[in-house]
Copies of this chain bind each other. A is one copy, B any other.
Amino acid sequence: MSEEGAVVVLSGGQDSTTCLFWAKQKFPGEIEAITFDYGQRHRIELESAGRVASIAKVPHKTLPINTFNTLGGNALTGDIDVSSELDSESGLPNTFVPGRNLIFLTFAAAYAYQRKISNLVTGVAQTDYSGYPDCRQETIESLQRSICLGMEYDIQIHAPLMWLSKKETVEMAHSAGALEAMAYTHTCYNGEQPPCGDCPSCKIRAKGFAEAGIDDPLITRFHGFKNA
């Protein structure tokens, strides 16, 4: 078993890209990236993930999950508009797919199991605005235990961004050498490229880069240096 390698769940966004480069620095063994094609409305995420993995020079596997679309009823996979309002009943954003992250990490663990790799890395953050309950530390710790028991396999889930602000995440991306790849990440909730700049996701990203005093390579790629 490779206790030295890691499987990184790579969505093609800013956070998971940061984690991929973080993992390359942290683990001496083989790093692999895994991306889920779960019917996301913004197919550009998959292209971004492939591009990022290629820049990082790591093997990249895309796993399909056709189940969420059949479950239906949310803005990221369905035809419902993304709303900035929270659901009046659940208090969650309507982009919430119940259990999505539980499923991703369990499939990623199954993949790691087969590859005999014992570290999993995910870009979830409790400090994230979205408040998804499956991104919280307590959930991740419980899920790690469930996976270890359910697969009889000693896997460790790392969530290096869990307690970081967006500013600190940008600083980590910088020190991990992720900025070149960052130019090809996709974060915009409206699926636009260049990013719309108006959705909560774009705004939080912009704020993080501004606070870190670093130009966002994605913006630079489309609009040139803002601070030049």
Contacts and interface: CB of A to CB of B under 8 A. Distances in A.
Interface of A: 63-67, 70-71, 73, 90, 92, 97-99, 101-103, 106-107, 109-111, 113-114, 133-134, 136, 138-139, 142-143, 145-147, 149-153
How many of these chains are in the complex? Answer: 2
Given A66-B66, A71-B111, A139-B150, 11 more contacts: A63-B67, A64-B70, A71-B107, A98-B151, A99-B109, A102-B151, A133-B150, A133-B152, A134-B150, A138-B149, A142-B149
A73 B150 CA distance: 18
| A interface, over-half SS | helix
A168 to B, nearest CB: 25
16 contacts: A63-B70, A64-B67, A64-B70, A65-B66, A65-B67, A67-B107, A71-B111, A98-B110, A98-B113, A98-B151, A99-B106, A99-B109, A133-B151, A134-B150, A139-B149, A143-B150
